[in-house]
Structure 1
């Protein structure tokens, strides 16, 4: 359980997240993921990173149970900072990052894949931001990198999800494959990328990030301020208590 890194082929690092039962990450999980991504990107032997997950789904976001059982606001602050660090670590990774997504990709999962360079998904993958049902706000910045603006808003307001095939039609998912072929398909793309010169790949990543029209770090940090407001006012607790958590419904 936790975050692990393997090297299945030359030039490729596979970072796997495993927090049963649904990969809802605790505070230390987000920081561990950020550290693994930074380490892989800084390794001169690595030319491409595959971000994968074990279990039923790719990511169910923040461990809300940790927030609810921790008195005060330390867990909330930790989760917000941890998500910020993990999302930034994907975006700022010195080499391209491929997200290999299966099952549900919710909340913080959208932050991860929205910052990735490429997405390969299983045919059972679904993507969404149930933040309003959780009494939270955030990651619209990253959902907007996956779908057009008006669809992003509709998905955000309704907490609906979209399928991997729908995202492929929008151009944000590279391939959709059966679940048992997911990691192989992601690694196949990674091998193609890793065949390029490592120094040139790092320059390309920096150049592409430099021409982004939206500063994703600043944009997400702005969103986080409204999550704090909802929590400090007590609104978030009222919504979560009334609705329950995705982790409870998935488990």
Structure 2
């Protein structure tokens, strides 16, 4: 693995995203994550997984520089479906996955965190879906998962303003389970993971299956529409302007085209 670090301690697996400087979710990172989740699914010694980021961020989002290499709606739709597929693997994993979020979980980073079964955050972490600031939309399941956690109104506000919320606010809204000072966040995640690992794996699988079964079945149409819209939006002039502005570190000028 080039971008993910895996450590195992008894029944716990620690996955660390290590794609510096911002732990961007490039296609290579997603590929490694997919492979690793498959391996952990069949690792009978692992009962719980903790996912966190190395350095200053959990993940600041998708690798925007990869976007400029794609040229068609179909390519962008496939990119969206690929991200959705990897995150559904996490959501469907029959072992609890805890996201320990510090620094920032933005765009694809937050979408990854929302696919995990629980989220622990540092008090001052920044969580958001700022894609509309780039003239695009969330494409890795964000439009489908965020409203289920915090309701349509607040989800709409977060997406349309592109403004992040703090870790403490994420807890108040129901997007995260607990918030802690950053220096103890990972230890608290390990402590919670140890409690999960002490339970019978059979009972844990049963609970996860019961909570996820209907949700995963019913959500498929929404994810498909998100992927299609993701591709369509990328064909617009505003998307090209938004991505260029991001790379050039300036404010975008959208025309509605």
Whether these two folds match at TM > 0.5 is: yes
Q: Is the 8 A contact 2:77 2:227 kept in 1?
A: no
Please give the alpha-carbon distance, in whole angstroms, between the structure 2 residues aligned to 1:144 and 1:71.
29
Q: Is the 8 A contact 1:26 1:79 kept in 2?
A: no
1:3 aligns with 2:11: no
Secondary structure of 1:24's aligned partner = coil
**What stretches of structure 1 of length at least 5 have no aligned partner?**
none
User: Displacement, 1:15?
Assistant: 1.0
User: Displacement, 1:71?
Assistant: 5.4
Please give the alpha-carbon distance, in whole angstroms, between the structure 1 residues aligned to 2:219 and 2:145.
8
Please give the alpha-carbon distance, in whole angstroms, between the structure 2 residues aligned to 1:188 and 1:233.
47
Secondary structure of 1:58's aligned partner = coil
Q: Is the 8 A contact 1:129 1:161 kept in 2?
A: yes
User: Displacement, 1:225?
Assistant: 1.1
**What stretches of structure 2 of length at least 5 have no aligned partner?**
251-257
User: Displacement, 1:134?
Assistant: 1.9
> CA RMSD for the aligned pairs?
2.2
Which residue number corresponds to residue 71 of structure 2? 72
1:185 aligns with 2:184: no
Further displaced range: 12-21 or 77-86: 77-86
Q: Is the 8 A contact 1:30 1:79 kept in 2?
A: no
Q: Is the 8 A contact 1:61 1:109 kept in 2?
A: yes
CA separation of 1:103 and 1:218: change in aligned 2, threshold 3 A: farther
User: Displacement, 1:199?
Assistant: 1.9
Please give the alpha-carbon distance, in whole angstroms, between the structure 2 residues aligned to 1:79 and 1:28.
12
Which residue number corresponds to residue 125 of structure 2? 125
Which residue number corresponds to residue 255 of structure 2? none
User: Displacement, 1:72?
Assistant: 3.1
Q: Is the 8 A contact 1:34 1:86 kept in 2?
A: yes
CA separation of 1:118 and 1:237: change in aligned 2, threshold 3 A: same
Secondary structure of 1:25's aligned partner = coil
Q: Is the 8 A contact 2:3 2:17 kept in 1?
A: yes
CA separation of 1:130 and 1:153: change in aligned 2, threshold 3 A: same
Please give the alpha-carbon distance, in whole angstroms, between the structure 2 residues aligned to 1:154 and 1:186.
29
User: Displacement, 1:80?
Assistant: 2.1
Q: Is the 8 A contact 1:16 1:53 kept in 2?
A: yes
User: Displacement, 1:186?
Assistant: 0.5
Please give the alpha-carbon distance, in whole angstroms, between the structure 2 residues aligned to 1:214 and 1:168.
27
Q: What are the within-5 Å matches in structure 2 for residues 146-165 of structure 1?
A: 146-165=149-168
Please give the alpha-carbon distance, in whole angstroms, between the structure 1 residues aligned to 2:89 and 2:61.
16
Please give the alpha-carbon distance, in whole angstroms, between the structure 2 residues aligned to 1:103 and 1:2.
18
User: Displacement, 1:100?
Assistant: 0.4
Further displaced range: 228-237 or 117-126: 228-237
User: Displacement, 1:170?
Assistant: 2.2
Q: How many residues are paired up?
A: 245
Q: Which of 200, 203, 212 is 1:200 aligned to?
A: 203
CA separation of 1:219 and 1:77: change in aligned 2, threshold 3 A: closer
Which residue number corresponds to residue 254 of structure 2? none
User: Displacement, 1:187?
Assistant: 0.7
Q: Is the 8 A contact 1:110 1:142 kept in 2?
A: no
Further displaced range: 72-81 or 200-209: 72-81
